[in-house]
Amino acid sequence: MSHFVRPRELENPAVRLVVFHHAGGSAASYFPLTRHVPADWDVLLLDLPGRGKRHAQPALETMDEIVAAVAEDVRPWADGTPLALFGHSLGAVVAHETARALEARGPGPGWVGVSGRGAPGHEVLMRLPDHGSADADLIARLRSMGGMPERLDAVPEFRDRFLRLVRCDLRAVAEYRPRAHRPPLAASLTAFGAAQDSWAPVASMAAWARQTRGRFSERVYAGGHFHFLGSSFEAFAADLVEEITTALPAVPAVRSSAVHTSA
């Protein structure tokens, strides 16, 4: 069974875009992206264990476990179609490390997008929520950042499940310590940051340039950690499409124009 949410299945897509969600999130959070990318792009939204299509599986608590599982999920899709990986926050780490895992064993992606996460080595600048905080404190901190599920307190069982998941995810992020002095990725890389993001300050983003020997670019937006959600999603998606199209020159430029679908 596939662990991906795949809003439209294409036999010969121009680009295959794999998206990784944030801590406590799921593939459903990024479903709107499908409405704002070209119609011939295959979008694969991955649920990590413990949510969505994998709700019956226990959540993973270390980045090594997460990346090992994700790399196995993604590897069959690295089949020669131009491949792009994008992740926000926790998902940015997953995208980066999955790209490295793919490159180590065969074809890797042509582009990696990291959003809302400072570059490796800049963890001291990041003000992560404490996964060991009391429930009320953790919820308050997460609400201040945005991106929280609506009506979280309406169903106690859902609230408790969400807190278990987010604690596992935050523990994996907090304990993530990438090995220093690794060779840079072959893939091009774009870092997306926000001026008012206290979790991933803009000052921590530029150093992502050291993680690639390909093209590097940085985009900075107004707003906080989840600046692109809601009404800003369309503009953010247009920038993402432009970055991918620029990084993957084999993709005809005409295909970079966003096409709105009914998905």
Active site residues: 89, 225
Residue 219 is inside which H or E element, if any? strand 216-221
Question: Sign of the CA dihedral 217, 110, 257, 20?
Answer: negative
- The Cβ-side half-sphere exposure at 138, using a 13 Å CA radius, reads 21
Q: How far is CA 222 from the centre of its chain?
A: 19
Q: How far is CA 218 from the centre of its chain?
A: 16
Cα-based distances in Å from 39 to 77, 147, 155, 193, 251: 18, 27, 37, 27, 13
Query: Strands 41-46, 4-5: parallel, antiparallel or unpaired by DSSP?
Result: antiparallel
Distance CA 198, CA 224 (A): 7
Cβ-contact 98, 66 below 8 angstroms: no
Tokens 């439209």 label which residue? 8
